[in-house]
């Protein structure tokens, strides 16, 4: 039992550090609040809570996920952006780009969208 608690605590700190490094303290890098909304069952209807904007969506078979944020994304075209994949602390965008944490990434952790600075 003595080993399990430090391991779980270390894992939690690692996930938190990775999220903070990516600017996603609460799935949102700035003062915005974002959350992930998933269908509770196959083919179910999903929508953002009142006061939140749907900033991205993804369908995986019979299930759908939405990214819901308190304000809309500054970008609407993913063609002008790129997804940066990395590890814990190396999630930085190229010069001239900034992180957009309002879109769903291909991985839960270790990925961020980079879009032209505005």
Assigned token pair, 54: 């749907």
Tell me if the pTM is above 0.75: no
Residue 59's Cα: distance from chain center in Å? 16
Using one digit for the tens of pLDDT, what is the confidence trace for 18-27? 443 333 444 4
Residue 35 makes CB contacts below 8 A (sequence gap 6+) with 26, 27, 52, 67, 68
pLDDT averaged per 10 residues, the chain (length 118)? 49 42 43 86 84 94 92 95 83 93 88 94
Q: What is the pLDDT of residue 1?
A: 52
- The DSSP output letter for 88 is S
Q: What is the pLDDT of residue 88?
A: 66
Query: What are the residue boundaries of the structural domains of the chain, listed by start?
Result: 4-116
Q: What is the pLDDT of residue 72?
A: 95
């Amino acid at each position: 039992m003595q080993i399990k608690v430090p391991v779980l605590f270390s894992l939690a700190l690692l996930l938190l550090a990775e999220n903070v490094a990516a600017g996603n303290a609460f799935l949102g890098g700035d003062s915005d609040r974002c959350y992930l909304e998933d269908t509770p069952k196959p083919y179910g209807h999903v929508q953002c809570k009142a006061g939140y904007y749907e900033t991205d969506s993804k369908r995986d078979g019979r299930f759908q996920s939405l990214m819901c944020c308190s304000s809309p994304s500054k970008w609407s075209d993913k063609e002008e952006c790129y997804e940066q994949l990395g590890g814990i602390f190396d999630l930085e965008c190229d010069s001239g780009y900034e992180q957009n944490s309002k879109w769903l990434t291909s991985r839960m952790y270790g990925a961020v969208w980079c879009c032209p600075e505005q």
